[in-house]
Amino acid sequence: MKALIINCSPVRNGATAEITKIIENEISSRYDVRNICIDDYDFSFCKGCRTCHRTSVCIMDDDVNVIMKEFDDADVIISVAPSYWADIPGQYKAFIDRCTPWCDTHEPHASIKEGKKGYVVALRTGPGMHECDRIIQSIEHFYGHLHIECVKHLGLTSIEYKEDVESRKQEIKDFCKDI
């Protein structure tokens, strides 16, 4: 079975990346793991032309197609997203917007293979869970339109730097036991 872990942050070596590494280490004995960062891909913003509502194909041919191939190949998808002004980072939001051709919001639509399981880890620098909850809701909403079953989520507060992840490592490992 294949697992895709996606660092939804444009920072390739910060706290979010540290969490993806822990998850990868924890599940790699059970899954063939692919760990990617949203910032390693080049794609444009949605133009809002709605051509995909008629054709199920975006007019732009860029790395969104590459990422969606990763989604299609995976059995399990784990999105790890930090809070950027109380929501998912703009890069990941731009990716979600571009996934309209694959979402069930219109007919016809493209699709990825059914039966996928989705997990979400949200993190923020402040002490309250409200921002994590918002991130989780955004990603789980996206998963739903792709027919990815939302299985479990984890919110982590008071994490700003990768060094802050160490004190939450066991919590992340425990979360991984159910993946």
Are 116 and 74 contacting, i.e. CB atoms less than 8 angstroms apart?
yes
Cα–Cα distance, 131 to 123 (Å, whole number)? 8
130-179 residue pLDDT tens: 999 999 999 999 999 999 999 999 999 999 999 999 999 999 999 999 99
Both tokens of 10, joined, read 């444009």
DSSP label at 167?
G
| pLDDT tens per residue, range 75-127 | 999 999 999 999 999 999 999 999 999 999 999 999 999 999 999 999 999 99
Enumerate the β-bridge partners of residue 77.
Answer: 4, 118
Go through the domains of the chain in sequence order and give each one's CATH number.
Answer: 2-176 (3.40.50.360)
Q: Note if the pTM is more than 0.75.
A: yes
Q: Confirm if 73 and 2 have CB atoms less than 8 A apart.
A: yes
